[in-house]
Structure 1
Amino acid sequence: MKHRFLICSLIVLGISAAAAAQTAPARSLANTSSSSTPETESSSGSSSVYSATIQPTRPMVNAPHSAIALTAGTLGAGLEISTPIGRYVGIRAGAHGIAFSGNFTSNDVPFTARLDETSATFQVDVSPFGGRFRISPGVMVYNGIHASARAFIAPGQKIDLGNDTYTSSVTAPITGDASFHFGSNFSPMLTMGWSNLLHSSRFAIPLEFGAVFTGKPKFVLNFSGYACDEHNICGNLETEADAQTNINQERATWQDNLDKVPIIPVVSIGFAYRFGGMGIPSR
Structure 2
Amino acid sequence: MNTKDALLAVGFLLVISSAAHAKSGQVGLAIKAGTLGGGLEVSLDVNPYLEVRAGINQVGFDFDTTIGDIDYNFAPDFSTSSLLLDLHPFGNAFRFTLGAYLNNNEVDIDGTYRQDLLSPELSRYADLIDQAHLVGLIEFDTFAPYLGIGWTSNHESRSRWGVNIDLGIMFQGSPHVTELHVEDPWGLGNYPVAEAFVEQERQEIEKEIDEYEYYPVASISLSYKF
1:216 aligns with 2:174: yes
Return closer, same or farther for 1:197/1:212 CA change in 2, 3 Å cut-off.
Answer: farther
Q: Which residue of 2 aligns with 1:86?
A: 47
1:123 aligns with 2:84: yes
Deviations 1:175-210 (A, max 9, x none): 21032012x322211121012543242211111100
> For 2:221, which of 252, 270, 275 is the aligned residue?
270
SS of match in other structure, 1:250:
helix
Given the two structures, how large is their TM-score scaled by the length of structure 1? 0.61
Q: Which has the larger radius of gyration?
A: 1
Query: Is this contact kept in 1: 2:175–2:212, CA < 8 A?
Result: no
Could you tell me how far apart the structure 1 residues matched to 2:217 and 2:80 are?
Answer: 12
Could you tell me how far apart the structure 2 residues matched to 1:153 and 1:110 are?
Answer: 6
> For 1:180, which of 128, 133, 138 is the aligned residue?
138
Q: Which residue of 1 aligns with 2:20?
A: none
Could you tell me how far apart the structure 2 residues matched to 1:102 and 1:261 are?
Answer: 16
Could you tell me how far apart the structure 2 residues matched to 1:81 and 1:75 are?
Answer: 17
CA deviation after TM superposition for structure 1 residue 273, in Å: 1.2
Could you tell me how far apart the structure 2 residues matched to 1:216 and 1:171 are?
Answer: 32
1:145 aligns with 2:105: yes
Alignment of 1:51-200 (within 5 A): 64-107=25-68, 109-140=70-101, 142-152=102-112, 157=115, 170=128, 173-182=131-140, 184-200=141-157
CA deviation after TM superposition for structure 1 residue 113, in Å: 3.4
AA aligned to 2:104 is G
AA aligned to 2:62 is S
CA deviation after TM superposition for structure 1 residue 92, in Å: 0.7
SS of match in other structure, 2:212:
coil
SS of match in other structure, 1:215:
coil
Between structures 1 and 2, the one with greater strand share:
2
CA deviation after TM superposition for structure 1 residue 248, in Å: 1.4
1:206 aligns with 2:206: no
CA deviation after TM superposition for structure 1 residue 93, in Å: 0.6
| Unpaired segments ≥5 residues, structure 2 | 1-22
Give identity over the alignment, percent: 27
Total equivalences in the alignment = 198
SS of match in other structure, 1:261:
helix
Alignment of 1:5-84 (within 5 A): 64-84=25-45
> For 2:202, which of 251, 275, 281 is the aligned residue?
251
Query: Is this contact kept in 2: 1:180–1:217, CA < 8 A?
Result: yes
CA deviation after TM superposition for structure 1 residue 269, in Å: 0.8
SS of match in other structure, 2:209:
helix
SS of match in other structure, 2:62:
strand
Between structures 1 and 2, the one with greater helix share:
2
Return closer, same or farther for 1:139/1:133 CA change in 2, 3 Å cut-off.
Answer: same
**Backbone CA RMSD of aligned residues:** 3.1
AA aligned to 2:95 is R
Query: Is this contact kept in 2: 1:107–1:159, CA < 8 A?
Result: no
SS of match in other structure, 1:205:
strand
| Unpaired segments ≥5 residues, structure 1 | 1-61, 228-234, 276-283
